[in-house]
Chains A and B, each alone.
Chain A
Amino acid sequence: MNENKCFIIGLPEAGKTTYLAALWYFLNYKKDGSLRVKKFIGDHSYLSSISRKWADTEEIPRTKPEFEKLDNILTLENSEKDNIILAFPDLSGESFQYQYERREAEKKHYELIINCLGVLLFIHPEKIKEPCLISDIPLHLRKNEEYNDNISEHSPRNPRENDPTQVQLVELLQFITYMRNNKPVNLCIIISAWDLVEETSQKEILPEEFIKSKMPLLWQYLISNSERLLVSYYGISAQGGKLQDSDKLLEITNPCERIRIIDNNGTLSKDITLPLIMIMRNVQ
């Protein structure tokens, strides 16, 4: 039986652990999904605990670097009853910031990267830092005394805090292609908390269009490197709404029905395993 390894990247609070929590719940309860749990093998207590929080609409704590779980091995079966072993590590966003800043990766991450079949890249729409130029501020405002009084002190560059999110993500993807020696890999871009995107958009928007408008550098990079990064896009609302509206969310008796996922054709679904199916495609 082949082991399908996937690798998950994203900066802090990108929605990686929430996805994993919803996924574990879905795999155990939803019978008509593309994938489901065949049996428990080993220790799944971590998945079980985050999954319970998700079901109760509680906030799921972020994964801290010291509590990373690299050995989440799921034994699944697909609709044809084929067995699939899926390695699904839960890595902290800080680990990727560390890679970006220190220019080194832990060897255990490297091993996952070079052996994985696909990569899930998580992006939270409210955590995107865009590059804002001083020249973009109208001149009359810059000449204004009040503006000059209000600008903060000049401070040295702190890459993880100051560099635009799209630059950090392009660099992380460049690291992956570098470590894999340009070997092609399936890449699934997941925009988490998709309900927030829908709420703020004037018109219907598709996941790729969102990346194109909010992170144009990343979008160009993905288009131009499509031979080694086989990209698919999804917008996922794992909770189905804001945790502040938990009463409303809990009115839905089956937590799996809260999940909302949209693909790049605009097709809506509740099957949170779709990105996994996509990254397990054979790479030519």
Chain B
Amino acid sequence: MNDKLNTNVKEDIQSETIPNELENSLNIGVDVYDDIVKLPHGNALTFEETYRITSTQRVSLIVLVGPSGCGKTTLITTIYQLLQKGPLEEYYFAGSETLSGFEQRAFPTRITSGNASSQTTKTRRGILDSILHLKLWNCNLKVFQDLLITDFSGEDYRSIIANVDLAREEFGVIRRADHIVLLIDGELISNKKYRNGIELESLHLLKTIRDANLFNKNVCVDILISKYDIVKERSLEDATIKIFVEDLHKKFNEQFFSHISNLNYFNVAAMPEDKSKTQIGYGLSALVKSWVEYKDKLPIRVTNKTLQNQMSSEFNLYDIRAMEEIK
């Protein structure tokens, strides 16, 4: 589709008189029409649209996994909101191709929305092509790192639990993930009535992904307890919560340790109810650092620049093939 669009644009460009000064510096990648220039849409990207980033930049693909309401959109939105207030330790905001997508998601959490409480909008079912982009810059090492973070619907995740074929069909893209982040709703595991069920659902979801062969060999899996402010507060009254969380870690270790070389645990409170007790974005800085720094530890496969460019296009071809497989 992009090729077709570019051909049209080139034809448009050729058919009009271009001033000399413009001709010299005209950027063919920019969509120039008769009177207007089309600018990037700024919304969440489709996989196809991410190729221009993956082919030229150092990218980590972060796939957030978890049922509806576990806090995936809130997590992404809060990382962006924290950057609005300052760098995340040594990581500076260096740009985003999806600023509008972030703003759409952040709006309900702001006072200007007129909402009484901070609640992001639920991602609609069937949205399997919604990726947010952040470019970070390490001020110590002076290097950039691009993060592509998925914002898929929790209902779609729920539908694949224990259905390996459907998981492979719908979520083939997980195979490309550098990080799979499984979110477990902290509010539910603090409640005796729901905690066993949510633990089972989370274990089964990750097992489904594993048995659908969607783990790549370098993948890092982060088990993340969201809404941790509630876990902390309820643990003061109910000592079994702490034991439950420790057992949960053990169970994940037993089930997955032999399959995944990098299994990490995080506790996060992205938008806590009471910031006087738990700070906004609790645990997020460490999480983002782990995403960025894990990539640094992986061996660099190609160092020769020319070869690297060739590899980039091969990587794109791989992407296209992967997309076709998924379709």
| Chain A residues within 8 Å of B, Cβ to Cβ | 99, 103-107, 109-111, 114-115, 131-139, 142, 148, 151-155, 157, 159, 162-164, 166-167, 170-171, 174-175, 178-181, 183, 216-217, 220-221, 223-225
Contact status of A115 and B21, CB under 8 A, knowing A132-B111, A133-B280, A135-B109: yes
Considering the complex, give the chain A residue whose CB is closest to the CB of B41: A103
Complex Cα distance A151/B37, Å? 40
Q: A220 contacts B271, CB within 8 Å?
A: no
Taking each of A114, A154, A155, A166, which has the highest tally of chain B beta carbons within 10 Å of its own beta carbon? Answer: A114
Taking each of A137, A153, A180, A220, which has the highest tally of chain B beta carbons within 10 Å of its own beta carbon? Answer: A220
Q: A104 contacts B36, CB within 8 Å?
A: yes
Q: A179 contacts B27, CB within 8 Å?
A: yes
Known A180-B27, A223-B137; 11 more pairs at CB < 8 Å: A103-B38, A107-B37, A110-B32, A131-B81, A136-B280, A142-B117, A151-B116, A162-B112, A166-B84, A167-B84, A223-B139
- Which residues in A have their C-beta under 8 angstroms from that of B274? 139
**At the interface, yes or no: B304 with Cβ under 8 Å from chain A?**
no
Q: A136 contacts B41, CB within 8 Å?
A: no
Interface 0/1 of B150-188, CB less than 8 Å to A: 000000000000000000000000000000000000000
Interface 0/1 of B25-40, CB less than 8 Å to A: 1110110111111111
Complex Cα distance A105/B40, Å? 11
List B residues 229-254 near A (Cβ within 8 Å): none
Q: How far is the CB of A1 from chain B (nearest CB, A)?
A: 15
Q: List 21 A-B contacts (CB under 8 A).
A: A103-B40, A104-B37, A105-B37, A106-B35, A107-B33, A107-B36, A131-B81, A132-B111, A132-B112, A133-B109, A136-B275, A136-B280, A139-B275, A157-B103, A157-B113, A162-B103, A164-B84, A181-B30, A216-B86, A220-B94, A220-B137
- Which residues in A have their C-beta under 8 angstroms from that of B34? 107
Considering the complex, give the chain B residue whose CB is closest to the CB of A227: B142
Q: B30 contacts A135, CB within 8 Å?
A: no
Q: A178 contacts B92, CB within 8 Å?
A: no
- Which residues in A have their C-beta under 8 angstroms from that of B38? 103-104
Considering the complex, give the chain A residue whose CB is closest to the CB of B16: A107
Q: A167 contacts B99, CB within 8 Å?
A: yes
Main SS class of interface, A: helix
Considering the complex, give the chain A residue whose CB is closest to the CB of B86: A216
- Which residues in A have their C-beta under 8 angstroms from that of B99? 167, 170-171, 174
Give me the 10 closest cross-chain CB pairs, A-B, nearest first: A224-B137, A224-B94, A181-B27, A220-B92, A134-B118, A152-B114, A139-B274, A220-B93, A157-B107, A154-B114
Please tell me the size bucket of the interface on B.
35 or more
List B residues 90-129 near A (Cβ within 8 Å): 92-95, 99-100, 103-104, 106-107, 109-118
**At the interface, yes or no: B19 with Cβ under 8 Å from chain A?**
yes
- Which residues in B have their C-beta under 8 angstroms from that of A155? 113-114
Of B29, B32, B107, B273, the contact of A162 (CB 8 Å cutoff) = B107
- Which residues in A have their C-beta under 8 angstroms from that of B32? 107, 110
- Which residues in B have their C-beta under 8 angstroms from that of A134? 109-111, 113, 115-118
Considering the complex, give the chain B residue whose CB is closest to the CB of A105: B37
- Which residues in B have their C-beta under 8 angstroms from that of A223? 92, 137, 139
Complex Cα distance A175/B42, Å? 10
**At the interface, yes or no: B311 with Cβ under 8 Å from chain A?**
no
Q: B36 contacts A142, CB within 8 Å?
A: no
Q: How far is the CB of B268 from chain A (nearest CB, A)?
A: 14
Of A114, A137, A159, A174, the contact of B95 (CB 8 Å cutoff) = A174
- Which residues in B have their C-beta under 8 angstroms from that of A171? 42, 99-100
Considering the complex, give the chain A residue whose CB is closest to the CB of B93: A220
Taking each of A135, A162, A183, which has the highest tally of chain B beta carbons within 10 Å of its own beta carbon? Answer: A135
Q: B107 contacts A178, CB within 8 Å?
A: no
Q: B25 contacts A115, CB within 8 Å?
A: yes
- Which residues in A have their C-beta under 8 angstroms from that of B94? 220-221, 224-225
Q: A131 contacts B106, CB within 8 Å?
A: yes
Q: How far is the CB of A105 from chain B (nearest CB, A)?
A: 5
Contact status of A133 and B25, CB under 8 A, knowing A99-B39, A107-B35, A175-B39: no
Q: B95 contacts A225, CB within 8 Å?
A: yes
- Which residues in A have their C-beta under 8 angstroms from that of B33? 107
Q: A105 contacts B39, CB within 8 Å?
A: yes
Complex Cα distance A105/B30, Å? 11
Q: How far is the CB of B108 from chain A (nearest CB, A)?
A: 8
Q: How far is the CB of B23 from chain A (nearest CB, A)?
A: 11
Q: A159 contacts B84, CB within 8 Å?
A: no
Complex Cα distance A114/B21, Å? 9
Complex Cα distance A137/B137, Å? 31
**At the interface, yes or no: B83 with Cβ under 8 Å from chain A?**
yes
Complex Cα distance A178/B52, Å? 13
